[in-house]
Amino acid sequence: MNGLDFDDDMAEEGFSESGIDVPEAEKAVLHLINALGEKPDRDGLKNTPRRVARMYLELLRGYHDDPQKIVNGALFNITYDEMVIVRDIEFYSLCEHHILPFLGRVHVAYLPAGKVIGLSKIPRIVDIYARRLQVQERMTRQIADTIQELLEPYGVAVVVEGLHLCSMMRGVKKHGARMTTSAMLGSFRTNPATRQEFLDNISRGAGPLKI
């Protein structure tokens, strides 16, 4: 099995539940190739509409993932009220304005109020909202609101750092520019010391974002 076959097979697993009309997506990609003045029947492009349509099954799967199902009971009652931080979570998304990638890392913290969540679930929540046509500001708040709803903690903090190819490849072409967004809920908004503790923690050892 070659790499392309593997990608397509993986994508096909989500076909029936994806909500994406793959045949129509293929037609749209074919129309775009024609509109750009290319020859869709040449060797390099012959299977491109099919590959692109199935690629979107994976890149946009977040629309059809349910945070409650992702967590799947991985909430644990525990007596712990100190800050929990998961930092440097990689993400990849598509900007809804130009359908170009933006990518980077997410830092998440919460103050438990009797419940904690399994470690792997926070990166999966990030993926739910990254794997959509997105803007970084909205994605940041969606992650924070979902964790707040699931855990009902004393507070939630989310910081997202992103590199946007729409500003690197086109337009202003500023290759080193990165965007930082944050959402502070509960104690992280009302208590400056709590907020600063979180910001100090995520700044330690943080290297530059790279593509």
pLDDT the model gives residue 166: 82
State the residue range of the domain holding 40: 3-59
The verdict on residue 208 lying in a domain is no
Q: What is the separation of C-alpha 82 from the centre of its chain, rounded to a whole number of angstroms?
A: 27
142 included as an active-site residue:
no
Q: Is 209 inside any structural domain?
A: no
Share of the chain above pLDDT 70, in %: 85
Let me know if 196 is a catalytic residue.
no
Q: Say whether pLDDT at 2 is over 90.
A: no
The 10s digit of each residue's pLDDT in 116-156 is: 999 999 999 999 999 999 999 999 999 999 999 999 999 99
pLDDT reported for residue 9: 47
At residue 44, what is the residue type? G
Same domain, 54 and 77: no
- Select which of 24, 38, 96, 149 is catalytic: 96
**What pLDDT, on a 0 to 100 scale, did the predictor assign at position 173?**
63
The answer on 19 and 84 residing in a single domain is no
Mean pLDDT of the chain: 88
Q: Are residues 43 and 128 in the same domain?
A: no
Whether 98 is a known active-site residue: answer yes
Name the catalytic one among 98, 148, 152, 197: 98
Query: Which pLDDT value is given to residue 3?
Result: 39
Annotation says 97 is catalytic: yes
Question: Catalytic: 164?
Answer: yes
Residues ≥6 apart with Cβ < 8 Å to 114: 77, 78, 79
CATH code (residue 198): 3.30.1130.10
Residues 128 and 191 in one domain: yes
7 & 108 share domain:
no
- Give the number of domains in the chain: 2
pLDDT digits (tens, 9 = 90+) for 44-96: 999 999 999 999 999 999 998 899 898 888 999 999 989 999 999 999 999 99
Catalytic residue among 13, 17, 97, 175: 97
* Domain finish residue from 41, 59, 77: 59
Same domain for 171 and 86: yes
In the predicted model, is pLDDT for residue 204 greater than 50?
yes
Q: For residue 13, what are its two tokens? A: 């697993």
Assess whether 96 carries a catalytic annotation: yes
CA 92 to chain centre: 5
pLDDT tier for residue 6 given thresholds of 50, 70 and 90: very low
Q: State which of 34, 59, 84 marks the end of a domain.
A: 59
75 and 163 together in one domain: yes
Full-model pTM: 0.86
Does one domain contain both 26 and 85? no
95, 107, 134, 161: the catalytic one is 95
Q: Decide if 95 is catalytic.
A: yes
- Catalytic residue, chosen from 107, 134, 142, 164, is 164
- Same domain, residue pair 128 and 36: no
Residues 83 and 178 in one domain: yes
The reply to whether 95 and 45 lie within a common domain is no
Residues of the chain with pLDDT > 90: what percent? 71
* C-beta of residue 131 within 8 angstroms of C-beta of residue 93: yes
CATH classification at residue 36: 1.10.286
Note whether 54 and 12 are within 8 A (CB). Answer: yes
pLDDT digits (tens, 9 = 90+) for 187-196: 999 999 999 9
What pLDDT score was predicted for residue 174?
67
3-state secondary structure of 110: strand
Q: For 165-181, write each residue's pLDDT tens digit.
A: 888 877 666 666 789 99
DSSP 129-160: HHSSEE-HHHHHHHHHHHHHHHH--SEEEEEE
